C-alpha cells in the first residue's frame, strides 16, 4: 500500500489510464528486477521492451510518427511510476525523451520519418550528448569541432556522461562549427554509432542508477552527412536549452518517484518494527520525520505537475518553473531517502533493504540536467529579470 496522497483530481481520464498502465508494469515487471539491475549493473532490456510494446515510449511523439502525443505531464507521470520501481530504468526512459524530442522540435521531415516511429515503438534507443571534459555547466564552451567538407561534417572531440550512449542507435550530439562564436557556434547533429570515426569510450561505474549505461564518446574524424545536421548551424545552443527546459520536470518526476518509494518503505517499516514494546511509528520523533517526508514528496510532485502543465499549455517560457521543479524535487529526494535510511536504522545501511539504493539513486538527480547549484542561479536570474 502506497502512502501517496490523492493527486489525480487534475488529471484527465486518458492521463489516469496511462499512469495506471505504467504503474502496473512498474510494479509487476520492473520492481522485481530492480535490486538485480543495481547489483549486477545490467541493462533492463526486458522491462524497456514491455514499455515499448504498450506504446509508452512515444508519449512525446506526434501520432503521425507512431506516438501518442500525450505531452509533458503524461510523460512525467510515467517517469515517476517507473522511478518508484527502478531509477535506472527511469533514467533510460527519460533520456529517450532528451535524445528524441529535439527531432520532434527541429527535425526535417526525413529525419522524423527515419527515427521517430522506431523510437516510439521502442525498436531503437536515443541518447543526448552535450557535456565534455571542459564543458559541463558551461555548455557554450564546447571544444568538439565540426568542420564542413562538402556533403558532410567532420567531427573531432570527446563527449562525456552520455547516458544510453552504448545502447543508442541515434545520438543528439552537440559540437561547435566555430569556437570563437561561443554559443553562436553550437550546432546539433544526429549521430549514429555506425558512422566512420565514432567510438565508444569508458563505461562509467556509478554510485547509483547502475543499470543505466553512461559512457564517453570519441569522435576522430567522424563523418556525419549534412542531412544529419539538426536545424541550422549555430542553432544548437538554443535547442539544447529547450530540451533541458522540457526534461527538467521529468528529472523532477524521477526524483519524486524515488522519494515516494522511500517514504512508502519507511512508513511500512515503522509500523512493523517493534521497540520498547510498540511499533516505532508510535514515537513522535518518527512520526515527525514521516510527516516531513510526506510534505517534501507531495510538494515536489505538485511543482513537477505545474511545470509540466505549463509546457503542455505552450507557455512562452517555463525556465523558472522547470528549474524550481527539478531543484526542489531533487533536494527533497535526497532528504527523504536519507531519512528513510535513518528510520530503518542499521538495516537501512545494508543491502537487505532497498532504502540504501534509493539514497544512492537520488543523488544523481541533484547533478544531471543542470546541477542544483546551477538551478539556483537560473531561478535567481529569472526572478530578477522578471
Give 273's contacts (C-beta < 8 A, 6+ positions apart).
279, 280
In angstroms, the CA 378 to CA 367 distance is 15
What is d(CA 157, CA 135) in angstroms, rounded to the nearest whole number? 12
Q: Which of 176, 172, 154 is nearest to 163 (CA)?
A: 172
Q: Where are the beta strands (DSSP E) in 226-260?
A: 229-230
d(CA 200, CA 218): 6
H runs (alpha helix) in 189-235: none
Q: Rounded distance, CA 101 to CA 107, Å?
A: 9
For residues 145 and 175, is the Cβ–Cβ distance under 8 A?
Answer: yes
- Choice among 233, 254, 369, 382 that is catalytic: 369
To the query of whether residue 63 is one of the catalytic residues in this protein, the response is no
Kindly give the pairing relationship between strand 214-225 and strand 274-275. Answer: unpaired
Identify the CA nearest to 307 among candidates 317, 297, 322, 319: 322
**CA 201-85-88 angle, 5° bins:** 5
For residues 226 and 152, what is the distance between their CA atoms, to the nearest angstrom?
5
Note whether 340 and 263 are within 8 A (CB).
Answer: yes
Block residue for cell numbers 549521430? 191
Q: Give catalytic residues, as residue numbers.
A: 369
Amino acid at each position: 500500500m502506497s502512502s501517496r496522497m490523492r493527486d489525480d483530481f487534475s488529471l484527465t481520464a486518458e492521463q489516469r489510464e496511462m499512469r495506471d498502465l505504467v504503474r502496473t508494469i512498474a510494479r509487476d515487471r520492473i520492481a522485481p528486477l530492480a535490486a538485480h539491475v543495481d547489483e549486477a549493473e545490467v541493462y533492463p532490456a526486458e522491462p524497456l521492451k514491455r514499455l515499448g510494446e504498450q506504446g509508452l515510449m512515444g508519449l512525446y511523439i506526434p501520432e503521425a510518427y507512431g506516438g501518442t502525443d500525450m505531452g509533458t505531464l503524461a510523460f512525467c507521470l510515467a517517469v515517476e511510476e517507473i522511478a518508484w520501481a527502478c531509477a535506472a530504468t527511469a533514467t533510460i526512459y527519460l533520456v529517450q525523451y532528451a535524445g528524441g524530442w529535439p527531432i520532434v522540435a527541429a527535425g526535417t521531415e526525413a529525419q522524423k520519418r527515419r527515427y521517430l516511429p522506431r523510437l516510439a515503438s521502442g525498436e531503437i534507443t536515443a541518447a543526448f550528448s552535450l557535456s565534455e571534459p571542459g564543458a559541463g555547466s558551461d555548455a557554450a564552451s564546447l571544444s568538439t569541432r565540426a568542420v564542413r567538407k562538402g556533403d558532410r561534417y567532420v567531427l573531432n572531440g570527446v563527449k562525456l556522461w552520455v547516458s544510453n550512449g552504448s545502447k543508442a542507435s541515434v545520438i543528439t550530439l552537440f559540437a561547435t562549427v566555430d569556437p570563437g562564436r561561443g554559443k553562436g557556434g553550437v550546432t546539433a547533429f544526429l549521430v549514429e554509432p555506425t558512422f566512420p570515426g565514432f567510438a565508444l569510450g569508458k563505461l562509467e561505474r556509478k554510485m547509483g542508477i547502475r543499470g543505466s549505461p553512461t559512457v564517453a564518446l570519441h569522435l576522430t574524424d567522424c563523418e556525419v552527412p549534412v542531412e544529419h545536421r539538426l536545424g541550422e548551424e549555430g542553432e544548437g545552443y538554443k535547442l539544447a536549452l529547450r530540451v533541458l527546459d522540457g526534461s527538467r520536470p521529468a528529472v523532477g518526476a524521477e526524483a519524486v518517484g524515488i522519494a515516494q518509494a522511500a517514504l512508502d518503505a519507511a512508513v511500512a517499516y515503522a509500523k512493523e518494527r517493534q521497540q520498547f514494546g510498540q511499533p516505532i511509528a508510535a514515537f513522535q520523533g518518527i512520526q515527525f520525520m514521516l510527516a516531513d517526508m510526506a510534505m517534501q514528496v507531495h510538494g515536489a510532485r505538485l511543482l513537477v505537475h505545474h511545470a509540466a502543465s505549463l509546457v503542455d499549455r505552450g507557455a512562452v517560457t517555463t525556465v523558472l518553473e522547470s528549474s524550481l521543479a527539478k531543484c526542489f524535487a531533487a533536494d527533497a529526494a535526497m532528504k527523504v531517502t536519507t531519512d528513510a535510511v535513518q528510520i530503518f536504522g542499521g538495516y537501512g545501511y545494508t543491502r537487505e533493504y532497498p532504502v540504501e539504493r534509493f539514497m544512492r539513486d537520488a543523488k544523481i538527480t541533484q547533478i544531471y540536467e543542470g546541477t542544483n547549484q546551477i538551478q539556483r542561479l537560473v531561478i535567481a536570474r529569472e526572478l530578477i529579470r522578471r
